[in-house]
Structure formats: structure tokens, C-alpha cells
Amino acid sequence: MRGSLIVIQLLRDDRGATAIEYGLIVALIALGALVAFQSLGASSGGAWGDVADKATAAMS
């Protein structure tokens, strides 16, 4: 009887599922941030190149 109660309690325990859901949410947020940072870096790379060129031209 006691063994079956333990099994029932384990089947009703949903804390592990909640932790997995939170982990998936964090992974999706991290993936979205990575994509955003990559696109931001690609678009701002040209601007920083222009700044470096103008600074070099101003110093010479």
C-alpha cells in the first residue's frame, strides 16, 4: 500500500515539469537576444567603420 502511495505522489508532482517550462522560456529568450545582438552588430558595424575612417582622415 505504501509503495503505491509513493508512486501516486510522484505522478502528481509537477515541479519538474514547471522547471522544464521555465528552462524552455529562458532558452527562447536567450535565442531571441542572440539573434537581436547579431543583427544589431551587423548593422552598426558599417557605422563604426565610417567613424574609424573619418577619424583616421582627420588625424592625417
Joined grid coordinates for residue 4: 503505491
| pTM for this predicted structure | 0.53
pLDDT at 30: 95
At position 42, the amino acid (one-letter code) is A
Joined grid coordinates for residue 36: 537581436
Residue 1 has pLDDT above 70, yes or no: no
User: Average pLDDT of 4-21?
Assistant: 78
The domain total for the chain is: 1
Q: Domain range holding 33?
A: 2-59
User: Average pLDDT of 2-29?
Assistant: 82
Residue 6 has pLDDT above 90, yes or no: no
DSSP 1-49: -HHHHHHHHHHH--HHHHHHHHHHHHHHHHHHHHHHHHHHHHHHHHHHH
Q: Model confidence over 21-58: pLDDT tens digits?
A: 898 999 999 999 999 988 887 777 777 888 888 999 99
